[in-house]
Structure 1
């Protein structure tokens, strides 16, 4: 039964969840969706996503449908798209919405659609468009930030565990590729590329780790990303002194994002910078070695899986942040990693190899 503080609604409410853009942010919504479904087992739950990133939720059983907003009309003024999206949502008849984004631009269509119960974040002035507005606690993990929207609605939360699913067809395709290219060897997925260049680790160093994985550890290495990533994959392979198609495999041309999730589920380890594919790996329970630079691992550490985070101990903080932490020390009490901006170039190869070795050893012991 819904908590007494949760507004009453129809016996089978129609619920909209908004989580557009970015693979990592989208897959981190799975614990939220599970707890929402537990509380509303008979509800219609649709998730508004973008065409690319949304496919990481394709096999999630907690939603009814992934929906994508229609393309905005052409040449009808700056607000035509906003009005069209609001009308489209209104026609779908939702009576409650959870907006898992911080931007007012994500809230406006939901508000204009007249959805009665709206829960989201108070940042950027969004509180005035919401029935329940939640303040984000700094340095809080993104999974917990999403779950805080349910807590604000008096919806009970489970342990927040991570999970993901592989459809039979996707699993069969990936398994056939692995039987052909990597029979009986350890498998490590490497994710070296980001849309933000300041998050990337030097390719020369990544190449040294790839070489160690193949030569010293006897592993096969897998890449799979966007087409624009292939140049970096090839460069790392060349610098590692390894032949492409031998023990290093770039499956970018073979697999879409949904099948990349299936591939990640078959890996022994995932190594990479702070990017969405690490979160997909973690959702399948794959151990992760994550290299962090300017982003905050307290917020973005891979969730619910064995993980080693490497980050420079030297961080830079703007004066405003130093003052805030001095005046309000409770905001940083108990954090696993220091706050501030770190330089990913401070991470050395030996530290990464040691972290990879520890997790691979743990994986071997668990398998045995």
Structure 2
């Protein structure tokens, strides 16, 4: 039964729904298919999304949510237990005063489940992990190595809500489009624009800088490309090193726009790219949400779960995989059908990825891209 529609027909206030998806840019943007399906089921509901301040910007222009919420008392890791509990109860009281009747917890976290339970939200849907399943009204089990988008959609399925094909999408606000187009207007219009994302939150996910520089040099000198960087301020030193190593001519066609755009605006910038290339980082998921082709370099990451979603993409991973004994034992006890996996399970070393592999993947995507400029992919 659609409770929102029922409430509206009786002249009651629309149902208030909370979605919890804190931390990480990539995880947050991958929640868009979930939000679309939730909105389709509850068209009149107030749907608020609890995020962290910085990553939440990737949902700023999402039409399926009403408000982006940030907890008034941010949790800090490593603090004494009494202080952590005090923060938890204070945040729960704040949420309780917002009178939600339904919550979906997209974060695999016992603390997130406890927060929602202490907030008095009667209908709670989350993952049966971290020991919090008994605190939920309905719990979804995380099985196999399914993509994170499908895992999020499982929360709707277990709650009896039908889902669509899970297609990806994103939006660019008119003010952001104007700012981005003005900046890109200074680049040669006849050159392909390639976004480079070389930095990750985990060092083991990064590719050697000198190899990324060789790719940038090849893009500029052999493929007539303009290269664009845009990340966090801490990334700028790496951007500069890559451009310098790429050579003088390549450096003239490499543009670091980090200081010019915030995260929301970086989404608009990505929407104007012809291609995005990088390591496993949230910005590649943002690019994919704008249907920009992506070349993703992965090592310790499971591409079955974290490959670019809903766009043309190439995942580059070294063929030599490491399989810890615990993983081998789990696979022996609970074997997966071959059709369940696109990539074999295991971890690979980023150092084993060759420059030629990346260049060949770029060529395949550039050869197949549509002639329509990326500016026509973004919604005004």
TM-score surpassing 0.5?
Answer: yes
Give, in angstroms, the shift of residue 88 of structure 1.
0.4
Q: Deviations over 1:124-151 (max 9, x none)?
A: 1010111111111131100000000000
Q: Which residue of 2 aligns with 1:254?
A: 260
Q: Deviations over 1:295-345 (max 9, x none)?
A: 100000010000000001111111121122123223664311010111111
Q: Which residue of 1 aligns with 2:11?
A: none
Give, in angstroms, the shift of residue 365 of structure 1.
5.5
RMSD between aligned residues: 2.0
Q: Which residue of 1 aligns with 2:53?
A: 51
Question: In the alignment, which of 356, 362, 366 is matched to residue 368 of structure 2?
Answer: 362
Give, in angstroms, the shift of residue 38 of structure 1.
0.2
Q: How do 1:83-162 residues align onto structure 2 when only pairs under 5 Å count?
A: 83-162=89-168
Q: Does 1:283 align with 2:289?
A: yes
Contact 1:126 1:133 (8 Å CA) reproduced: no
Name stretches of at least 5 consecutive residues in structure 2 with no aligned partner.
9-13, 374-380
- 1: CA distance between counterparts of 2:299 and 2:128? 28
Question: In the alignment, which of 216, 219, 226 is matched to residue 220 of structure 1?
Answer: 226
Q: Which residue of 2 aligns with 1:306?
A: 312
Contact 1:185 1:219 (8 Å CA) reproduced: yes
Contact 1:279 1:303 (8 Å CA) reproduced: yes
Question: In the alignment, which of 62, 65, 69 is matched to residue 71 of structure 2?
Answer: 69
Contact 1:237 1:243 (8 Å CA) reproduced: no
Give, in angstroms, the shift of residue 9 of structure 1.
7.5
Change in Cα spacing, 1:263 to 1:7, as seen in structure 2 (3 Å) is closer
Secondary structure of 2:340's counterpart equals coil
Q: Which residue of 1 aligns with 2:32?
A: 30
Contact 2:220 2:250 (8 Å CA) reproduced: no
Contact 1:242 1:248 (8 Å CA) reproduced: no
Q: Deviations over 1:6-37 (max 9, x none)?
A: 99984421000000010000000000000000
Q: Which residue of 1 aligns with 2:85?
A: 79
Contact 2:108 2:129 (8 Å CA) reproduced: yes
Q: Which stretches of structure 1, 4 residues or more, deviate above 4 A after TM superposition?
A: 6-11, 72-76, 364-367
- 1: CA distance between counterparts of 2:86 and 2:5? 33
Q: Which residue of 2 aligns with 1:340?
A: 346
TM-score (norm 1): 0.95
TM-score (norm 2): 0.92
Contact 1:325 1:332 (8 Å CA) reproduced: no
Q: Which residue of 2 aligns with 1:230?
A: 236
Q: Which residue of 1 aligns with 2:44?
A: 42
Q: Deviations over 1:171-228 (max 9, x none)?
A: 0000000001343321000000011000000011100110011001111000000000
Give, in angstroms, the shift of residue 107 of structure 1.
1.2
- 2: CA distance between counterparts of 1:138 and 1:254? 41
Question: In the alignment, which of 158, 169, 182 is matched to residue 163 of structure 1?
Answer: 169
Number of aligned residue pairs: 364
Contact 1:211 1:242 (8 Å CA) reproduced: no
Q: Does 1:240 align with 2:232?
A: no
Contact 2:244 2:251 (8 Å CA) reproduced: no
Contact 1:85 1:109 (8 Å CA) reproduced: yes
Question: In the alignment, which of 196, 204, 218 is matched to residue 202 of structure 2?
Answer: 196
Contact 1:223 1:233 (8 Å CA) reproduced: yes
Q: Does 1:294 align with 2:296?
A: no
Secondary structure of 1:316's counterpart equals coil
Contact 1:325 1:331 (8 Å CA) reproduced: no
Question: In the alignment, which of 268, 273, 279 is matched to residue 273 of structure 1?
Answer: 279
Give, in angstroms, the shift of residue 350 of structure 1.
0.5
